[in-house]
A = this chain, B = another copy of it.
Amino acid sequence: MALDHIFASRAARMKASEIRELLKLLDRPGILSFAGGIPDPNLFPAQEFAAACSTALDPAHAGQALQYSVSEGYMPLRRWIVAHMAQLGIEVSVDNVLITSGSQQALDYLGKLFLSPGDTALVGWPTYLGALAAFNAYEPRYDRLTINDNRAPGDIAQAAEAGGGRVKLAYLSPDFANPTGETIDRPGRERLLDLAETLDCAVIEDAAYQALRYDGDDIPPILALELARKGTIDACRTVYCGSFSKTLSPGLRVGWAVAARPVISQMVLLKQAADLHSATMNQMAVAEVADRCFDSHVTTLRDTYRARRDAMLTALAAHMPDGVTWTKPEGGMFVWLTLPIGTDAAALLQRSLDTVQVAFVPGQAFFADGSGANTLRLSFSCADEATIAEGMRRLGQLLRDA
């Protein structure tokens, strides 16, 4: 007596993530792993969080920290975010801010808000796997988002109509994206806004890695550019999804969304219905730690991760054979390799584990259309420079032997 036969049709779209299953296997001792995409736990501001939680749970605050709170989020944290967004050139009020349980939750709510079955979501080929997972629950069709597309917007709209809906959103992570590490330049962001205007769709700006820039100049967020065009946040179609996961802590599950008031109001209703609110104590702790040391902590992260990125790019240049290319990320956690056409990165991973004991993520899972078999993702966030050098040496050897 299983209940599968009465599951909603969307359940058929929910598949176990190959990558997550893979990552479980890769955390074996002896493996040099560049597969994970998580922050280095040695860099968490643990003492600051211990102090903040101790304050939140003292007799003066515990009744609030352990109690239900409003779906919109903890007001001092929303105010901190308003100030943070202003530094990014985005002037908003607290009514434009919703606290979410990580930016992943914002992606779920935005899928829920915009996508009916058959609607089209524009995503990169490749794109963040978690975005595909979140949107899949709402049964969209995917089409390829490229910033330098020479397809006429009318053709994209027509294909969406043929797919049974319309283009509802374009999703992208413009800074040091997972998985490619690539950044969209300012003209690209402007072109994306033009496209969104023509298609009359929402833009979901996933800013998970935004604070982790190691060199080059800051580029205004897409929402900042749209705000400059329109003059008021409430006229904007871009939803900015922020996260403390890559800066302060992923385990506390605190992120945020910033958007026009009608969008935030709907997201508040969705959140109220879905989990009431994000954990009160966590929001209080993050507000205090962010207030106390966000900028200085991010500076430390940048210095550490920059050195690891440099080590990886240096080692790749030294050890990769001809025919292998890779991205040169200005921030984030990832370098993206393209192998000669015909190479199967999944088979290569198996061989790598069996011989040189180096782990990475085969790239195919990041493509909504199942292409990309000759690509792979490397993360430099959790390994020291010597491990990175040795790992790239081994991987280069393996590729030369292949």
Partner-B contacts on A (CB < 8 A): 1-4, 6-11, 14-17, 20, 38-39, 41-42, 44, 46, 49-50, 53-54, 57-59, 62-69, 101-102, 104-105, 108, 112-116, 119, 130, 133-134, 136-138, 166, 168, 200-202, 230, 235-237, 245, 249-253, 260, 262-263, 266, 269-270, 272-282
Contacts and interface: CB of A to CB of B under 8 A. Distances in A.
Nearest to A138: B8
Nearest to A140: B8
Contacts of A252: 66, 279-281
B281 A134 contact: no
Nearest to A44: B66
Given A253-B276, A276-B253, A278-B253, A7 B66 contact: no
A274 B174 CA distance: 21
Contact of A250 (B59, B66, B102): B66
A97 B387 CA distance: 38
Given A1-B230, A6-B201, A15 B269 contact: yes
Contact of A274 (B38, B53, B137, B237): B137
30 contacts: A1-B236, A3-B263, A4-B262, A6-B168, A8-B112, A8-B168, A11-B266, A16-B269, A41-B62, A41-B67, A44-B63, A44-B67, A46-B59, A46-B62, A49-B62, A53-B54, A66-B250, A66-B252, A67-B249, A67-B250, A101-B275, A105-B274, A108-B273, A108-B275, A112-B137, A133-B272, A133-B273, A251-B281, A253-B276, A279-B282
Which 9 pairs across A and B sit closest by C-beta, in order of nearness? A46-B62, A41-B63, A251-B280, A133-B273, A66-B249, A50-B57, A14-B269, A108-B274, A105-B275
Given A6-B200, A38-B68, A266-B7, A46 B50 contact: no
A367 to B, nearest CB: 18
A69 B200 CA distance: 38
A260 B3 contact: yes
Given A8-B114, A11-B266, A62-B49, A251 B108 contact: no
Given A137-B274, A274-B108, A251 B266 contact: no
A273 B202 contact: no
A44 B66 CA distance: 7
A235 B112 contact: no
Contacts of A253: 275-279
Given A2-B262, A3-B237, A270 B200 contact: no
| Copies of the chain in the assembly | 2
A183 B116 CA distance: 39
B2 A134 contact: no
A62 B38 contact: no
Contacts of A270: 14, 137
A104 B276 CA distance: 7
A67 B57 CA distance: 21
Contacts of A200: 6
Contacts of A64: 41, 251
A287 to B, nearest CB: 14
A193 B248 CA distance: 48
Nearest to A41: B63
A271 to B, nearest CB: 10
A147 to B, nearest CB: 22
Given A251-B69, A275-B104, A260 B2 contact: yes
B63 A54 contact: no
A213 to B, nearest CB: 22
Nearest to A62: B46
A391 B181 CA distance: 62
Contacts of A108: 273-275
